[in-house]
Structure formats: C-alpha cells, structure tokens
Amino acid sequence: MKYAAITKRLAGLGSGKWALHIEGRRKAAAGIPVIELTIGEPDLPPDPMLLAECARAMQAGRTRYSNGRGEPAVVDALVRKYAKRRNGVTSRNILCFPGTQTALFVVMMGLLDAGDEVLAGDPSYATYEGVAAATGARLVPVPLRAKNGFHMQAADLEAAITPNSRVLLLNTPHNPTGAVLSASEIAAIGEICRRYDLWIVCDEVYEELTFDDRFASPFDNPDLSDRTIVVSSISKSHAAPGFRSGWAAGPSEFFDHLLPVSETMLFGVQPFIADMTAMALTQPIETSSIMRANYRARADLLVDRLSAHPALKPYRPEGGMFIVLDVSGTGLNGNDFATRLLEEENVSVMPGSSFGEGARDLVRISLTVLETSLEEAARRMLCLTERLAS
Ligand SMILES: Cc1ncc(COP(=O)(O)O)c(C=O)c1O
C-alpha cells in the first residue's frame, strides 16, 4: 500500500526517541524496581477545586460542541492573563487547543511550507523536529552552549539563518536544560528575527516554573508583537497534562487565517475542560508554587550529590522540571551511560541525544520524584560512574 509522504517524514520521530523510557517501563512491568526519571509529568495531582469544576461542568451538560476559537470564559481568562503582559490583547489574539503540542502543530501548519527552515535550539524538546517535518520544513539547529548556560546567543542564531529560514522556535524555561532567557537576551534575539523577518514561536509551557521569578517573553516586547506567537497549556502549571488544555496567543491577523486550519482539524475543544481551565487561570491555586519549590530543592540535591564525582557534571537548571548531567567524563556518551544505567542500576533517564546532537554527552533527569528516590538514583549513578572509572 502507498502512504502519504508525511508518514515517512515523521517515521522514528514519535516514540522512537523514548526507547529507553519504554524499556524502563517494560522492566518495571516485569516486577523490577526501576526508578523512572524519564518523563516530565508533574508528581502532584491537579487541585481538587479544578477536578470538582470539571465534574460539575460535565454534570451541568457542558458536553456539547464548542467553537473553533475556544469557549468564551477561557478565552476571556486568557485575554486577562496576556493583557497583564502587553497592552491591547483581545479575544482575536487567542486560539484554544488541546495542549501545547497541538498548538505547536497547528501554528507550524499555518506558518511553514515544504522547503522552509525552522530554527531551534540544539538541544530542544523532542517533538520539535516532528512538528517542523510534518509541514515539510526542516529543523535547523542553533547551538546552545554549556558555557553560556545553554542560553541561545543572538550571534549563533544569526549564523544559522539562510534564505529559507521562516520561524524561530524558542522555548523558555527550556526543556531539557532548564535555561530561562532574560528580557535583554530576548531583545537581542528578537532584533535578529526582525532583521531577517522571522516568526517567533515561543513555547512557554514551563512559564510558572522559573526558580527565581525572572520569566521574560518576546510576547511582552512591543517591538516583537507582530511576529510572536506564544504556545502554552495547563499541563505543567496546574499538573494537568491528561486534560489536554492549551492555547496560542499571537497576532490577530495570523489567527484569522489559522482558525479554519484549526477548525478543520479539531472542531473545538471540550467545554467542561474549558470551564476547568478558566478556573485554573483565574483562581489562586498553589500547585505551581509547590512544584517550583520542590523542583528547585531537588535540583540542588542532585547538583550536590552528583558533583561529588569529578567525572560527572550536573548543570543547575533555572526553571522547569529537569536537570541535565554531562557524563562524558565517564568515557561514555549520554546514550551509552543511560543504557548501562538502566541495565545495571535500574534507573531510567533520557539520553541527551533524544533532544539533539548537541546534547550527546548529556542525560536528562526528571525532578518529578520524591527526594528519597532521587537520593537513591544519585547513589546508583555514582556506583556506575565508579565502576566505569575503575
Ligand atoms: C517544552 C515542551 N513543550 C510542550 C510540551 C507538551 O505540552 P502539552 O502537554 O501542553 O501538550 C512539553 C511536555 O513535556 C514540553 O516539555
């Protein structure tokens, strides 16, 4: 049988990057006590108030078709959220989607054609290559260097631009490195985007998880408002990834063009989840501040324990749910270290290569488990490292 070219372009870009995670789950299912540090799933449940609102809305009949832009209450809540960050935001600047991932996919469908290029940090979130490839575009890496704290540099961005460059896909706080861009770094990057007429798609799914409250966004910079689209969700901020509730915020003219694309694919999102999302965005809920404190403390713990061995180099994150560890001092790259760690010590981590060639010496460790498990995982990483050194 013949399939469309998109299936070839995306082959291996889906679960292929998660092979070690899947192997860890297989071991665990076979009864082996694996410490799973692979995926970025919040370890708290959603606030009970949100679950009650979702159930109430379902019982109240909020189970009918919605509309393509989003339910009025959640669109209104998003207008208020983004109007605090920039003047002049209206409902025409908002589109709702089932999660950041879908928002990314549809936004890219609206910006890119075959042969175009998308610039993104190397390393970057594992699905970016796929959302670019789905459109027929190509992901072009911009090196994120450890010596710069993995912060994208305007000069590195400019060096990667070609006549085919259309979009810069930014992510702050950054997955996997935890880098949080400053307003001045964003201004310098934005200046390059203006000079080369690039769109900026900024993935802000970890906005609420900066460790020192220093979040900045190109959306908030009036000089960049005509070319910036933010994508985000309540997946991380409200520990609700399974609800699939996200959005895009950006220029009204682009969204008028994008709406039929979104409608063709989705025909709206679920009203009862929209009601819960409206509540999440308007009520004081502590989930993200609890996670922020937990993840920061857990990152500190791992930096302390792992830097005890000279062959290991942990990089303290500035936000998000992960920490990256340079394992090249052990003589192994990230993939081989992660494979042996799972085989010999029953700890699953993500190999850096799942996030780009630039991260081949790294592994990514999720901070979403209790301190006792992280202590034990660190002990096992040190055991493997000792064995490799002897
Ligand atoms: C950087 C980044 N963007 C997007 C997503 C997906 O978010 P959502 O659950 O809102 O689709 C993730 C999930 O881990 C992520 O790390």
Q: Is ligand 1 within 6 A of the CB of residue 351?
A: no
Q: Is ligand 1 within 6 A of the CB of residue 241?
A: yes
Quick one: 90 and 234 in the same domain? yes
Quick one: 265 and 306 in the same domain? no
Quick one: 151 and 254 in the same domain? yes
Domain count, the chain: 2
* pLDDT reported for residue 14: 63
pLDDT below 70 — which residues of the chain? 14-15
User: By C-alpha distance, which of 285, 183, 294, 298 is closest to 234?
Assistant: 285
Q: Is ligand 1 within 6 A of the CB of residue 240?
A: no
Q: Is ligand 1 within 6 A of the CB of residue 288?
A: no
Of 282, 305, 326, the residue that ends a domain is 282
Please report which helix (H) or strand (E) contains residue 303, including its range: helix 287-306
Quick one: 40 and 54 in the same domain? no
* pLDDT reported for residue 390: 84
Alpha-carbon separation of residue 238 from 196, 215, 221, 274, 352 (angstroms): 37, 17, 26, 14, 27
Quick one: 266 and 291 in the same domain? no
Taking the CA atoms of residue 174, residue 194, residue 134 and residue 252 in that order, the dihedral angle to the nearest 10 degrees is: 100
Cα 204 to ligand 1 centre (Å): 9
Model confidence pLDDT, tens digit, residues 6-59: 999 998 776 677 899 999 999 999 999 999 999 889 999 999 999 999 999 999
210's tokens: 């900066």
**Preceding amide of 33 cis, omega within 30:** no
> How far apart are the C-alpha atoms of 279 and 282, rounded to whole Å?
5
Q: Which domain holds residue 263?
A: 48-282
Model confidence pLDDT, tens digit, residues 216-228: 999 999 999 999 9
Quick one: 122 and 154 in the same domain? yes
Query: What does R_g of the chain's alpha carbons equal in angstroms?
Result: 21
Residues 6 or more apart whose Cβ sits within 8 Å of residue 243: 46, 54, 234, 235, 273, 276, 277
